[in-house]
Structure 1
């Protein structure tokens, strides 16, 4: 078992580093307001009518704004940072570059690992359509020191590999068991047989409530009954 990913160092907030489509959208909208509002004010309050050609630039600006909606369809978010080193999960330790951290000495582990490069963003009307998969975070305490790193998942398959690795580490209790660690496993990966068997073990050893275990796996009432008979047999 081995998993590795590039460590990402954030530098700029998203709002201060716009992509091409964002610049085109917001700058053209600003230009349209600056150009049109004075003309509308003069026409309404001074009873003056501009010739039709005076509004042609406003139409051009509007077309530029409209074009940003097509540019965004193939656009990725800006990285707003850089890559430096690797994070890897080995059989008995977590490595940040060349420094090893034994699982048995890791405490307060937190992992957010659901973002991958090429994933669609939540920008439904403007802005880049795809993310870079750098919003993943790992945080833990080791010998009294807290460490926190962002890392990139470069595809959906890479995300699946991370989930499989976490299932292995948690179910084999490479890292001392804590209930909250079970939440690191995404719902779609909780049907893995190793995870189901581990939940059954936890229930039998009374380290987790039966209902909580069933809810984690996502069983319906019939599946839950079959599972209960299996683990108690």
Structure 2
């Protein structure tokens, strides 16, 4: 049998037992008529009555029905022996005389069962906690720049992947064989940071360190300067700037 908790009875002053008493059938007269009118006019009370009936139906399954013994003839014979009055068979069926007694016993049992149900502690329902999903970081846009050289050569296209920290430049020869072309980023603070040396052939691909990546953002300026072979030894541009352009998201 399914383990079903008995319904909670609403009320500020205490449990409202009227729904349970109506479901058990122990109300009579005006009390039963008043409870029946509440079933018709109060949807919440009607639901409570149905819940009690469903719950009590499960409890009744615990005790099988046992027919009451027919002891009325024995009682009548005992009374006749004591009083000396001959036994008179009543015209009323014996079954109809037993039912009032059984109804009284049923009412007593129903009241006892109701008291047990109301006094038994009701465990509080467990409220499932909502699952909180970890925030998903939005993908960072790719940044591009077009470096316009001062010399009469075509512009270089720069593509920076913020996810991998890789910056790529198209092929362009800006420095002589005894010089190096070095790429710089100039963020909002105006201080150039070196990114690496450019290759003369096949384009350039540089993987930047985390310390340098934080300076590359939309609006930062990229510049190429001509430095001694192997790049600047001071950490700042020492030769002329031959190309520059600003990063922008795509």
Of structures 1 and 2, the one scoring higher in RCO (CA 8 A, sep 6+) is 1
- CA radius of gyration, larger in: 2
Q: Does the alignment reach a TM-score above 0.5? A: no
Q: TM-score range by the shorter chain?
A: under 0.3
In terms of fraction of residues, the more helix-rich structure is: 1
TM-score w.r.t. structure 2 length?
0.19
